[in-house]
């Protein structure tokens, strides 16, 4: 059987520079590489016409995310956080040492803090909250005290 390894997680974004700032400066990803894709064979693979795509690869903790910015045909954006019970990828999750210290930095780089999602579980010494990236992708921030 062929070996299977995770390559990357793709996130379609409405504004490449805004999202790069959020994921790099807010969440601490490092820029790995960038590429520009136009026409075939990408149009067949992506099932989109007139593809002009900027793909930005960022790495953190051994995980690569690919920010997909479509010059054409553009993106379909609602800007509203997806419901957690919507089929498909629901969120990314990060563990932090100091949740409260991180939130202002995330807001400065374009996050929306979903303050009404904040929970604290004293017996587990855990607190968590959701934020969204600038396009509404949910990101869970979890602090577990030792």
Looking at the DSSP assignment, which residues form a beta bridge with residue 95? 142
Locate 113 and state its tokens: 């803090």
Intrachain domains 9-72 and 92-144 with the same fold: yes
pLDDT of residue 84: 86
Render pLDDT for 5-33 as a digit per residue (tens, 0 to 9). Answer: 889 999 999 999 999 999 999 999 999 99
Tokens at 71, concatenated: 């010059």
Q: Could you tell me the pTM of the whole model?
A: 0.90
Domain parsing of the chain, residue ranges? 9-72, 92-144
Specify the fold of 92-144.
2,3-Dihydroxybiphenyl 1,2-Dioxygenase; domain 1 (3.10.180)
57-68 average pLDDT score? 96
Domain spanning 9-72, CATH architecture: Roll (3.10)
d(CA 4, CA 58): 21
CA atoms within 13 A on the CB side of 86: 10
């Amino acid at each position: 059987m062929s070996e299977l390894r995770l390559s990357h997680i793709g996130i379609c974004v409405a504004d490449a520079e805004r999202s790069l700032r959020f994921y790099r400066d807010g969440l601490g990803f490092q820029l790995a590489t960038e590429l520009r894709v136009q026409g075939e064979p990408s149009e067949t693979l992506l099932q989109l016409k007139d593809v002009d795509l900027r793909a930005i690869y960022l790495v953190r903790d051994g995980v690569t995310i690919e920010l997909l910015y479509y010059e054409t045909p553009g993106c379909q954006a609602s800007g509203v956080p997806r419901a957690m019970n919507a089929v498909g990828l629901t969120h990314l999750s990060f563990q932090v040492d100091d949740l409260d210290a991180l939130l202002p930095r995330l807001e400065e780089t374009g996050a929306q803090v979903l303050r009404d999602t904040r929970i604290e579980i004293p017996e587990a010494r855990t607190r968590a909250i959701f934020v969204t990236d600038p396009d509404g992708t949910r990101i869970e921030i979890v602090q577990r005290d030792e």
